[in-house]
Structure 1
Amino acid sequence: MATPADTSAQLVFAPNVLHNQALNSVKFLSSCFAGAVAGILGLENWLGFALFIASIISTSFIIYAVNCRGKPARYLPGGLGELINPGQDNIFTFILVWTLFYGIIHVYD
């Protein structure tokens, strides 16, 4: 007899879950790019974080529409919530790249 945990684990299609690594890489690269843009533009304080949030939302929408084909629950165990979640690593990556590019471009302002 299957337990509820076994039944819920069977609802996620294994090849789609393996595809999650590619989705995480896209979100990571999006955070790097957004950090570089924020640093080059010289954004400070909340404007930089607003750019990060806009980047996460737009990346999540593209992944939702193109890769997940409107059904994120088949690809991600957490569904839509997992897709929109930026992740701690992506936030730190954004801040690191943001400060790096800000320091390189605007060092003598």
Structure 2
Amino acid sequence: MPTEKEFQIAPIVPESVIHNTKALSNLQNLTASIFGAAAGILGLESYSGFLFYFVFTILTTVLFYTIRVAPTSLKAGHAMFDTGRYFRSSYEFWAGGLFGGLAGYILTWTLFYGLVRA
């Protein structure tokens, strides 16, 4: 938990947290649709299709973390996986996209599967 001195040095701005959350959500929704198209074109079915989605969504979140969040956190001297300064919670950052983009993934997955297999 940050101390009062840390809040005075680098305050958390709610508008910035909301902006970061929207940017991550947009990325996750876009990639969910792209992954759905890829799964449909590849002809994945059942568990392999859902495993494809979960693996690539987690990979996308890890890449987003290493490219955007980690360099600024480490420069500021914070803990390695501390996302609380940039997002509402760690859960929202790491697992929020798994379920937020699932509906879009399933829709594009079935659409492209039907188009390719028809």
TM band (smaller chain)? 0.7 to 0.9
Cα deviation for residue 55 of structure 1 reads 1.3
Percent of aligned pairs sharing the same letter: 29
Contact 2:20 2:87 in 1 (8 A): no
* Aligned match of 1:25: 26
- Which 4+ stretches in 1 moved above 3 angstroms? none
How many equivalent residue pairs? 97
**How far apart are the structure 2 equivalents of 1:25 and 1:48?**
22
Counterparts of 1:15-94 in structure 2 under 5 Å? 15-69=16-70, 70-79=81-90, 81-85=91-95, 86=97, 88-94=99-105
Unmatched tracts of structure 1, length 5 or more: 1-10
- TM (norm. structure 2) is 0.73
Residues 93-102 or 11-20, more deviating = 11-20
Gapped regions of structure 2 (runs ≥ 5): 1-10, 71-80
Give the match's secondary structure for 2:101: helix
More relative contact order, 1 or 2 (CA 8 Å, 6+ apart): 2
CA RMSD after TM alignment? 1.9
| CA distance in 2: counterparts of 1:50 and 1:87, whole angstroms | 11
